[in-house]
Amino acid sequence: MTEARNERDRRNADSLARLRAFTGRLTDDQLSRPLGNGWTAAAEIAHLAFWDRRASVLLDRWTRDGVTASGADFDAINDAMLPQWLLVPARAAVADALAAGEEVNGKIASLSNELASAIGEGGVVRLDRSRHRSDHLAELERALS
């Protein structure tokens, strides 16, 4: 379990470092560039911040109260949040995504093995945040290259 946990924490740290490096190179014009379906690069980055913050809030709740599952419709949440994410200034979206990533990475790394297993079984929050970040970073890199 410890080796897998260390690998997960490494992937989380690496994906956040990749996000930091990539967003640090973007111009305001690139951040405002449409990606299709109403999304901009900044909105997609704000989306990353939201999902990391959601994971962080659930980790706090589960650490305090025990693990419970929730049947959220992720596509509906994304669709509902997009108009708000589009209102976020581009650089604020970047700052929020990086802060949310730092916050959730720290909480995940500090989980006990027992709590991490219980959370992993519930499937509501992915403790390996790198996949979500990497999927969106790849999309952004293709669109903004």
Phi, psi of 72 (to 5 degrees): -75, 145
What's the rounded Cα separation, in Å, for the pair 138 and 81?
A: 21
Q: Is the pLDDT of residue 84 over 60?
A: yes
What is the reported pLDDT for 70? 63
Q: Give burial (CB, 10 Å; 0-12/13-18/19+) of 115.
A: middle
Residue from 8, 9, 112, 138 nearest 59 by CA: 112
Residue 142 has pLDDT above 60, yes or no: yes
Interatomic CA distance for residues 61 and 67, integer angstroms: 8
Distance of CA 55 to the CA centre of its chain: 8
Task: Give CA separation, 87 vs 36, 50, 76, in Å.
Answer: 17, 14, 18
Rg (CA), the chain: 15
Give the model's pLDDT for residue 72: 64
Tokens linked to 144: 């903004």
As a whole number, the mean pLDDT across the chain is: 91
First-to-final CA distance of the chain: 39
Model pLDDT for residues 90-123, shown as the tens digit of each residue = 999 999 999 999 999 999 999 999 999 988 877 7
Domain boundaries along the sequence of the chain: 2-144
Q: What is the pLDDT of residue 61?
A: 82
pLDDT in tens, 54-78: 888 888 888 888 887 665 667 778 8
Give the architecture (CATH level 2) of 2-144.
Up-down Bundle (1.20)
Mean per-residue pLDDT, 125-129? 91
The predicted pLDDT at position 104 comes to 96
